[in-house]
């Protein structure tokens, strides 16, 4: 008999807890070319996705496919080095399975990072953008299908997908270290082809400031589980029609690598601060 999503999540959590006694407070998803941002985690236990039961494999360059459990100062962190994308051929349930696992491990706040294409003409490659809201243009919702109330409600509210108070805290930390954080709307498309100039013009008319192929399904599932979300995009390139030359994945990775140190500095200061913010969201661990 096929195991339910709930059963598979529980099985995966049991495997992880058998290898690490840490109970992570903060979850972190590291996007294209950003996997080295968590090099400062202490007492880290590393688990390859391939060895974790039920975990899908990361197949894209720039996504190592590793779960790290460790400490940043006194804050326990679960970091996903690399994510799973819909365009890789996975279902939305598979794409968001790692987020379900983080929630079941006890994560209450989740930081989602990605490398994105800039649409707002004010941005430049290397800009950092806090996600204030999103446009889901992927053609599918990760909550489609039967709902398991042990994870969350049938119709979750998405008024504040990206926590205003966590964004305010991120801006405060950024000011302290002299870092400029833009804010804007992230448009998620299915990929894997980059957008056409006409599509980019459409996205700009719709109010998008950046575009990418991830993050939104994870944010929706996190909110379904009552996890508070902070989203952060690295503007790795300007989108088609704005950029002056054809887009290449290698250039996206190179651009992300150039801003890793700034992002690391921000997260090193921000993540311990997040853990000190009183959590007011609903229980994130699935109920027995």
Residue-range domain boundaries for the chain: 5-275
First to last CA, the chain: 20
Nearest to 211 by CA among 230, 239, 249: 239
Pick the CATH number of 5-275 from 3.40.50.1580, 3.40.47.10, 3.20.20.80, 3.40.640.10: 3.40.50.1580
Helix, coil or strand: residue 171 = helix
Please write the tens of the pLDDT for every residue from 86-96. Answer: 999 999 999 99
Q: What is the pLDDT of residues 147-175, one digit of tens each?
A: 999 999 999 999 999 999 999 999 999 99
Is pTM beyond 0.85 here? yes
Give the C-alpha distances (Å, rounded to integers) separating 148 from 63, 145, 156, 283, 286: 30, 10, 12, 14, 9
pLDDT in tens, the chain (288 residues): 789 999 999 999 999 999 999 999 999 998 765 656 666 788 889 999 999 999 998 776 656 789 999 998 889 999 999 889 999 999 999 999 999 999 999 999 999 999 899 999 999 888 999 999 999 999 999 999 999 999 999 999 999 999 999 999 999 999 999 999 999 999 999 999 999 999 999 999 999 999 999 999 999 999 999 999 999 999 988 777 676 666 666 766 676 677 778 888 899 899 988 877 665 544 445 544
> Active-site residues: which are they?
32, 63, 85, 87-88, 115, 213-214, 237, 249
Burial category of 67 from C-beta neighbours within 10 Å (exposed 0-12, middle 13-18, buried 19 and up): buried
pLDDT at 278: 62
Answer for the pair 107, 284: CB distance below 8 angstroms, yes or no. Answer: yes
Q: What is the pLDDT of residue 199?
A: 95
- CA dist., res. 237 & res. 198, Å (int): 17
């Amino acid at each position: 008999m096929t195991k339910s999503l709930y059963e598979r999540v529980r099985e995966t959590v049991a495997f992880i807890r058998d290898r690490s006694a840490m109970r992570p407070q903060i979850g972190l998803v590291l996007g294209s070319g950003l996997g080295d941002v968590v090099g400062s985690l202490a007492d880290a236990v590393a688990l390859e996705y391939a060895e974790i039961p039920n975990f899908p494999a990361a197949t894209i360059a720039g996504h190592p496919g590793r779960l790290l459990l460790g400490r940043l100062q006194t804050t326990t962190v679960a970091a996903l080095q690399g994510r799973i994308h819909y365009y890789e051929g996975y279902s939305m349930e598979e794409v968001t399975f790692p987020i379900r696992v983080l929630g079941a491990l006890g994560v209450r706040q989740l930081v989602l990072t990605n490398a994105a294409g800039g649409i707002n003409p004010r941005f430049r490659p290397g800009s950092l953008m806090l996600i204030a809201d999103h446009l889901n243009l992927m053609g599918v919702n990760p909550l489609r299908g039967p709902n398991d109330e042990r994870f969350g409600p049938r119709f979750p509210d998405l008024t504040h997908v990206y926590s205003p108070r966590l964004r305010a805290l991120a801006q405060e930390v950024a000011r302290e270290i002299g870092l400029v954080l833009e804010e804007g709307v992230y448009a998620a498309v299915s990929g894997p082809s980059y957008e056409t100039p006409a599509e980019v013009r459409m996205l700009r008319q719709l109010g998008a400031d950046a575009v990418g192929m991830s993050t939104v399904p994870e944010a929706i599932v996190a909110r379904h589980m009552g996890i508070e979300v902070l989203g952060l995009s690295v503007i790795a390139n300007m989108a088609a029609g704005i950029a002056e030359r054809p887009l290449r994945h290698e250039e996206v990775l190179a651009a992300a690598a150039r801003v890793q140190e700034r992002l690391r500095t921000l997260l090193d200061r921000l993540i311990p601060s997040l853990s000190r913010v009183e959590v007011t969201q609903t229980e994130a661990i699935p109920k027995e």
